Amino acid sequence: DNPEDLVTRAPIVTIMGHVDHGKTSLLDYIRRAKVTDDEAGGITQHIGAYDVMTNTGEKIAFLDTPGHEAFTAMRARGAKITDVAIIVVAADDDIMPQTKEAINHAQVAGVPMIFAINKIDKPNANPNKIKEQLANMNLLVEEWGGKYQSQDISAKVGTGIEELLEKVLLEAEVLELTANPNKNAVGTVVEASLDKGRGYVTTVMVQAGTLRVGDVMLAGQHYGKVKAMFDHKGKKLKEAAPSTPVQVLGLGGAPQAGDTFKVYDSEREAREIANSREQIQREQSMRTKKHITLDEIGR
């Protein structure tokens, strides 16, 4: 990229932490939405992607990751598109195994962390105990003279959330996040599913370039022309700049969360790469198969 093409982009923030410590509630509050109510058993099953405008008119993109252990692999991928990690810890609980895992993911990825110590509205909340537990892990928070930003919050009542967002923007400023919007889009698949009416719906995070309706896109093994794009509220978009999460219609299949995507100048090129990826995967799965049935060898 030419330096003159680089423009400031919004931070991409991943919200991580132990199950039920309040990740989705925090995002719900920030977005003034109510996702937790629609979730099966109150457990996030997938990674949600949203972008919000703060009161000060600055954009922040968010990824909400599931807290359940079964999603460890997805979360590990989630950390790779992240500029800043918010680690949510419930103040009426302790640093839990998945909190440690989230901290570990962020550290391995070299992503700065902000600790959101949640549920301080609860009578049995003890944020100081959490800070002590963090200190015991060599994670001393700023108010205790350390280098880690932390904020006491209540995702239920809204306490401290404005301040938390300010800390995110402060961290982003230090990182000097830029991207070149003047090229074919590249980014990461957040989730994908088959919708009966609309076909394959793929949520992607654009990380560089600009994604436009009509672009030929290849994600994992699947390609297609972008038929339509929507933001997380369902509003139609014609284009998506860096750090924008969008739902894309038009892929020929569902790529996996964590797959990268790229826009190509020709459909032929995208198809050829898709076919060769498919071929490689076929060969790999043949090799790892323990038993080959008669059916599969064509008898």
**Contacting residues toward ligand GTP, per CB under 6 A:** 17, 19-25, 36, 42-44, 66-67, 118-119, 121-122, 154-156
86: amino acid identity, one letter? I
Sign of the torsion formed by the C-alpha atoms of 74, 140, 125 and 170:
negative
CB of 33 to Mg ion, least distance (A): 12
Shortest distance, position 162 Cβ to Mg ion, whole Å: 21
Which of residues 21 and 167 has its CB atom nearest to Mg ion in the complex?
Answer: 21
Residue 67 assigned as binding residue:
yes
Q: Which is nearer to Na ion, 18 or 232 (CB)?
A: 18
User: Which residue sits closest to ligand GTP, CB atoms considered?
Assistant: 67
Minimum distance, C-beta of residue 26 to ligand GTP, in the bound complex (Å): 7
**Whole-number Å distance between alpha carbons of 116 and 96:** 14
Q: Which CB sits closer to ligand GTP, 155 or 270? A: 155
Is 112 annotated to bind ligand? no
Residue 24 labeled ligand binder: yes
105 marked as part of a ligand binding site: no
23 is in an annotated binding site: yes
Q: How far is the CB of 227 from ligand GTP (least distance, A)?
A: 31
Q: Where are the beta strands (DSSP E) in 27-77?
A: 48-53, 59-64
Q: Which residues contact 170 (CB under 8 A, 6 or more apart)?
A: 149
83 appears as a binding residue in the annotation = no
Q: Residues 164-189, buried b or exposed e (16+ Cβ, 10 A)?
A: bbbbbbebbeeeebebbbeebbbbbb
Q: Which of 10, 14, 27, 44 binds Mg ion (CB under 5 A)?
A: 44
User: Which of the listed partners (Na ion, Mg ion, ligand GTP, none) does 239 bind, with a CB threshold of 5 to 8 Å by partner kind?
Assistant: none
C-alpha neighbours within 13 Å on the C-beta side of residue 26: 35
Alpha-carbon dihedral sign for residues 228, 231, 236, 239: negative
Q: Would you tell me which residues interact with Na ion (CB under 5 A)?
A: 20, 42
Size of the residue set binding Mg ion (CB under 5 A): 3
Contact between 14 and Mg ion per CB under 5 A: no
Angle at 79 between CA 168 and CA 40, to 5 degrees: 95
Q: Is residue 25 at the binding interface for Mg ion, with CB under 5 A as the rule? A: no
Cβ proximity of 265 and 214 under 8 Å: no
Considering only CA atoms, give the Rg of the chain: 21
Task: Report d(CA 112, CA 127) in Å as an integer.
Answer: 21
Give the one entry of Na ion, Mg ion, ligand GTP, none that residue 121 binds, where binding means its C-beta sits below a cut-off of 5 to 8 angstroms depending on kind.
ligand GTP
- Which positions ≥6 away from 173 have C-beta within 8 Å? none
- Interface residue list for Mg ion (CB under 5 A): 23-24, 44
Sequence ranges of the binding site for GTP: 17-24, 64-68, 118-121
Give the annotated binding-site residues: 17-24, 64-68, 118-121
